[in-house]
Amino acid sequence: MESNPAVSSNEGLRKRCLLLALLIAGAVFVVFSPVLSNGFVNWDDDVNFLNNSAWRGLGPENLKWMFTTFHLGHYIPLSWLSLGADYAVWGMNPFGYHLTSLLLHAANAVLFFFCLTFLLEAATAERDPAERQWAAFIGALFFALHPLRVESIAWVTARRDLVSGFFALSSAICYLRYVREGARAVYLAALALFACAVLGRESAAALPLVFLVLDVYPLRRITAGSWKRVLLEKLPFLAISAVAAFLAVLATRSIVCLPGLSETGFSSRLGLAAYSFAFYLWKTAVPLTFSHIYAIPAGFGIFSPAALASAALIAVLVAGAWRLRHIYPAVPAALSAYALFILPAGGVAATISLAYDRFSYLSCLGLAALFSGLWLTANKTWGRRQAALLFSALLLLAGARSFAQTFVWRDAASLWTNAIKHSGGHFRAQALAARGKVYLEQGQLDLASADFEHAISIKLIDGAVLGLAQAQMLSGRPDEAGKILDFMLQNRILPADALQMKGVLAFRGGDLKSATHYFDEALSLSPEDCRICNNRGLALEKSGDLAGASRDYSRAMALCPGHAQAAQGLSRVAATSSYIP
């Protein structure tokens, strides 16, 4: 009996689809495998994970914290849940966290491949199905291997991008299946997965509007007789988006270190919005240099040259997309999706940087879809061989650049070294101070002092002055440290920290009375500082005031539960005295 050619063809497409999906996942692991040797960095990883124990595990108290916290200005319970699961398996071994991030990105790349196969089928139904599969493969690789993805994968704090992306892409696949099949269960699955996406990160809230863009092209669902139904089916999605936006505003307001509109000004926010729109387009097309933060120049606003140039580019792109809307409708569709995802992050939300590489994770999906379309055009115009050579070379270059960029995130020192390399002015001073702090914690005191001194020569940064005093003290130069601390007190630079360090110097010199006096003054300025409480307790213990020492150690434990030195102090007091706290 002869086999049915249609059945054989479909079986061949399914096998090729599976093979291409495996190749995409394999390429992700090859390119980004260096992240498995990376550690945590002192760029929010310390505040999120190293100095915060609330997320560690999946117990009732951990789950309560995950679903109620606005920690560092975000409401991301599902992202915290994934991190809590990592802790349950790996403890504090960073390898496990990076492995999970790598697996999530590989899954997202495969999910995007499936999304593209749906979209290309709708957009280019006349093209050979195998050709469409290869186009989807090319577009998925472009998304997966681009250097703009490195930050989201290599930085544990950016887990929220990957979790949100996983659920957003899963929701998109269900939505596309719903459009094709009309099954209510699939629609509800898309809705539930979208809710999970915004619980992973609030930036996915724009997805329903992107669905509307897809309804126009390539799905072509907006017609005179169907537009009301298409809009009505988005209402539940938009309701979830509204709740996510409300929670995002509450979360942002909960963190005081971010500038508000009254501080940055409308002109600055507008300039940032214009600049960020152009920034990710430029970095996608020319992926040469990257940093984890791009300093905002003093006085930056909509009339700054960079913002004006970006606004001009936006005007050109809008005009060009409008003219091409009938000939190449994919161009305005992709740019619209890009704008919808990037707008909330690009100047509208509070920010301390011109842009962040991680903000491209969802926004550049549309650009990757355009890359698929470019491959189809090149394949038709130049032939399959020439197109394959060109696009393979582009993908290899992108992958090689990403591979190199993963080493920037190897540790905190390499991260700040890269920032110093690509920055100037006051931000260079801040980056030098941050690297100096890393060297100080590692005990590389000469390197730390050099960075602190270099930073101070550019700009008088409080943290650099304090760090230099600490480096001098730990290097056995108490006189030099004392002079720096006196300078800090005279100029009201971190006075509580300066007094605390004066107390440490006096304690090391055996002057317990002066040490206690300095700790008293420091606590009058910063009464909630558990370090100062512990240090005064130590000075009182050495002075023989065991009751006072016990009170201070207990206070330190109350302020910082699990404070090891304070706990040890309490044990010593109990062991060497009949006094029971």
Place of tokens 């970095």: 283
State the residue for tokens 């003093």: 298
Among 409, 442, 458, the domain boundary falls at: 409
Q: Are residues 522 and 394 in the same domain?
A: no
The answer to whether 307 and 296 are in contact (CB under 8 A) is: no
> What range defines the domain where residue 292 resides?
17-409
Domain co-membership, 47 together with 160: yes
Under DSSP, is residue 300 helix (H, G, I), strand (E, B) or coil? coil
Tell me whether residue 454 is in a domain: no
What are the tokens at 13? 């497409």
Q: Return the ∠ at Cα 99 (arms to 94 and 103), rounded to 5°.
A: 155
Strands (E), 402-467: none
Cα 425 to Cα 458: distance, rounded to the nearest angstrom: 7
Considering the domain architecture, whether residues 342 and 224 belong to the same structural domain is answered as yes
The angle subtended at Cα 526 by Cα 522 and Cα 532, nearest 5°, is 55
Quick check: helix, strand or coil at residue 403? Answer: helix
Residue 472 maps to a domain: no
Looking at the fold, whether 181 and 316 belong to one and the same domain comes out as yes
Which pLDDT score is estimated for 27?
A: 97
Residue 289's contacts (CB-CB under 8 Å, 6 or more residues apart) are 422
Q: Are residues 118 and 265 in the same domain?
A: yes
405 and 518 housed in the same domain = no
Half-sphere exposure of 537 (CA within 13 A, CB side): 26
Q: Is residue 465 part of a domain?
A: no
Instruction: Indicate whether 526 and 402 sit together in one domain.
Output: no
Name every residue whose Cβ is closer than 8 Å to that of residue 522 and which is 6 or more positions away in sequence: 496, 497, 499, 500, 503, 529, 532
Q: At 390, phi and psi to the nearest 5?
A: -65, -50
Q: How many CB atoms lie within 10 A of CB 191?
A: 19
pTM recorded for the entire structure? 0.89
Provide the residue type at 512 as one letter. Answer: L
Looking at 409, 430, 450, the residue that finishes a domain is 409
Let me know: does 342 contact 359? Beta carbons within 8 Å. yes
Tell me if 440 is assigned to some domain: no
The CA angle 451-51-572, to the nearest 5 degrees, is 100
CA–CA distances in Å: residue 466 to residues 448, 476, 521, 524: 12, 16, 17, 19
pLDDT on residue 42: 87
CB 345, CB 356: distance < 8 Å: yes
**CATH number where 548 lies:** 1.25.40.10
| Burial letters 355-365, b for 16+ CB under 10 A, else e | bbbbbbbbbbb
- Which structure tokens are listed for 409? 């995130």
Q: What is the DSSP string of 295-335?
A: PPPTT--TTSHHHHHHHHHHHHHHHHHHHTTTT-THHHHHH
Tokens representing 475 are 């290097």
Q: Answer yes or no: are the C-beta atoms of 97 and 222 closer than 8 Å.
A: no
The pLDDT, as a whole number, for residue 293 is 86
d(Cα 184, Cα 17) in Å, to the nearest integer?
A: 26
Long-range pairs of 324-327 with CB within 8 A, sequence gap ≥ 24: none
Same domain, 229 and 349: yes
Q: How many domains does one find in the chain? A: 2
Q: Is 448 inside any structural domain? A: no
Instruction: Give Cβ neighbours of residue 73 (< 8 Å, ≥ 6 apart).
Output: 251, 252, 254, 255, 258, 350
Q: Are residues 521 and 376 in the same domain?
A: no
What pLDDT does residue 348 have? 52
**Residue 38 located in a structural domain:** yes
Residues contacting residue 359 through CB under 8 Å, at least 6 positions apart? 203, 276, 280, 342, 345, 346
Contact 473, 503 (CB under 8 A): no
CA-wise closest residue to 138 among 177, 164, 112: 112
**Do 232 and 369 share a domain, yes or no?**
yes
Mean pLDDT in each 10-residue stretch from start to end of the chain (581 residues)? 57 89 97 96 91 92 95 93 97 96 98 96 87 95 97 96 97 96 94 97 94 94 85 96 93 65 66 88 92 83 88 92 90 94 68 84 94 92 90 96 96 94 86 94 94 93 93 92 93 92 92 93 91 92 89 88 82 70 44
Task: Indicate the residue among 394, 409, 424 that finishes a domain.
Answer: 409
Residue 1's pLDDT is 43
Both ends of the chain: CA-CA distance in Å? 91
- Other CB atoms within 10 A of residue 55 CB: 21
Give the CA distances from residue 482 to residues 268, 402, 499, in Å, rounded to whole numbers and listed in that order.
Answer: 41, 46, 10
For residue 433, the model assigns a pLDDT of 94
Q: Using CA atoms, how far apart are residues 139 and 119, in angstroms rounded to an integer?
A: 12
> Does residue 1 lie within any of the structural domains?
no
Residue 462 in any domain: the answer is no
